[in-house]
Amino acid sequence: MRGGNVRRWLHCAVGGLAVAVAAAAHAQAPAAPSAASAPSASASAARSVAPSTPAPQPSASAPAAPAAVPPPPPPTTTASLDEAASVVNVRPFGAGFPVTISCDRPFSYAFVAKGAVDSRPSFPDPFVKVGRTPLTIELPSGVYTVIVEGESTTTGSTVFEVRNMPAQVRVKGGSSSLRELSTWTMAFGVAALLAAGVIEVSQTKADDSSTKHKFSIPLAIGGGVALGGGLVMVLVSRTTFQTDGFVPGQSGGPAARIQPGIGISGQF
């Protein structure tokens, strides 16, 4: 009996231990999967939440960003290029009385010097370029020399005086083309006269004088006509000045006087 009881007791103990182990295993088995599935649950929760809050997308109706505004352009002067070229130096010798210089030929330029000075080129040059005619400048009281020249205008000069009143210098420009033609005409006339003289002085006793006269006389006549015509063209192509105001050597009120131009070259 005792041996049978012991076997039953051992059998019950082993059975109870097996039941306890099985219960413990059963109790621990659900806990492990729940812990392992926690990340998947959180990931699924994140996936379920993510679509509900999509990232903001740019809308077609949203206003575009303002474009960069370029800087304003620099202020422009109202004076045109012609006006800028018309007057270079309004007060070459300081403030004074208005003096208007005009020329009937385009693209003529005026130069002014203090006093009655020689208009031929010199160093240092006393003349100051005041601009392209027509122009109005200011000059203090005194005597001045003005030179006017241009591409199509022969160079001329005159002396005028500025007193306590405005003055005006009107220029009648001579043709530079006619002046150039006169130079060639006079050169031809001089050459013809020289040729006629050479023919005459080269006569010998054996030469026939009548034969030489047939050549020398026409050459002399043609040369004289060409030389005289060239001199006339020089006088016609000169530049003249008319000064309204005071002129040197006169006293009293305003005067108008035409003064012939003095032809020069090389004034810049």
Structure tokens given for 56: 């903001």
- Same domain for 163 and 192: no
Whole-model pTM: value is 0.55
- The answer to whether residues 118 and 133 touch, using CB atoms and an 8 Å cutoff, is no
SS3 110: strand
In whole angstroms, how far apart are CA 126 and each of 38, 66, 114, 139?
A: 105, 61, 8, 15
- Which residue numbers in the chain have pLDDT < 70? 1-87, 203-209, 245-268
Boundaries of domain holding 219: 177-236
First to last CA, the chain: 155
- Same domain for 166 and 254: yes
The pLDDT value given to residue 33: 44
- Same domain for 252 and 206: no
The pLDDT value given to residue 262: 35
- Same domain for 229 and 98: no
Model confidence over 115-153: pLDDT tens digits?
988 888 888 888 999 999 899 999 999 999 999 999 888
Count of beta carbons in the 10 Å neighbourhood of residue 224: 14
How many domains does the chain fold into? 2
- Same domain for 169 and 247: yes
The pLDDT value given to residue 145: 93
The pLDDT value given to residue 250: 44
The pLDDT value given to residue 65: 57
Model confidence over 231-264: pLDDT tens digits?
999 999 999 898 875 444 444 434 334 344 333 3
- Write the DSSP symbol of residue 51: G
